[in-house]
């Protein structure tokens, strides 16, 4: 398992070692030991999975402190363009986003620490998205930022005018009007 940094502190790309043969493949998707060796002392408490079709955008979602969540996200089948937005007010990259294609084929994972909004655009039908969280879902603390905030200028690789978006996500405020309480 190789852990790579991004230009945003704390946001990591994880590339598992994949061992394939005539039967298929095997890979380790998470190791508390590898995380600890990389100073990622996180206890995941919940696993989630969703299935979506091409053209869906989910996000940008987060939970306020004290129920903020770090996430380890991956795609089991299909592909997404995954985005994390830094909402840590004292971060040198506050308001910056990073996007990456995650797919069942490339097997990459994205570690999104607490203090980030997260979302994704689905690039293939029947995409299965899975993620671990280090805190429980608390609806009263759930917040969102508009996926198409022009000040953020996320470069979604699908036509956002034709995207399939929940009513809740359509009504998320732009970042300048959003509530968040994160520090590094």
The token duo for 148 is 């198409």
Which is the catalytic residue, given 30, 62, 131, 137? 131
How far apart are alpha carbons 180 and 158 in whole angstroms?
A: 28
- Residue 161's SS3 state is helix
Has 137 been annotated as catalytic? no
- Go through 67-90 and write b for each residue having 16 or more CB atoms within 10 A of its CB, e for each that does not: bbbbbbbbbeebbbbbbbbbbbee
Judge contact between 77 and 126, C-beta under 8 A.
yes
Has 131 been annotated as catalytic? yes
Which is the catalytic residue, given 30, 61, 62, 137? 61
CA 30 to chain centre: 16
Q: Which residues are catalytic?
A: 61, 131
């Amino acid at each position: 398992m190789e852990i790579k940094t991004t230009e945003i502190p704390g946001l990591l790309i994880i590339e598992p070692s994949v061992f394939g043969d005539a039967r298929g493949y095997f890979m380790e998707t998470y190791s508390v030991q590898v995380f600890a060796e990389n100073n990622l002392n996180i206890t995941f408490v919940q696993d989630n999975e969703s299935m979506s079709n091409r053209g869906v955008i989910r996000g940008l979602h987060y939970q306020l402190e004290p129920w903020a969540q770090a996430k380890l996200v991956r795609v089991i089948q299909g592909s997404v363009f995954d985005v994390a937005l830094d909402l840590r007010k004292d971060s040198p990259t506050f308001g910056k986003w990073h996007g990456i294609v995650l797919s069942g084929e490339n097997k990459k994972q994205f570690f999104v620490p607490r203090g980030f909004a997260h979302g994704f655009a689905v690039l293939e039908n029947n995409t299965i998205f899975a993620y671990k969280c280090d805190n429980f879902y608390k609806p009263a603390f759930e917040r969102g930022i508009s996926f198409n905030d022009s000040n953020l200028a996320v470069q979604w690789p699908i036509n956002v005018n034709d995207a399939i978006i929940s009513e809740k996500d359509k009504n998320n405020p732009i970042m300048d009007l959003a509530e968040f309480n994160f520090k590094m």
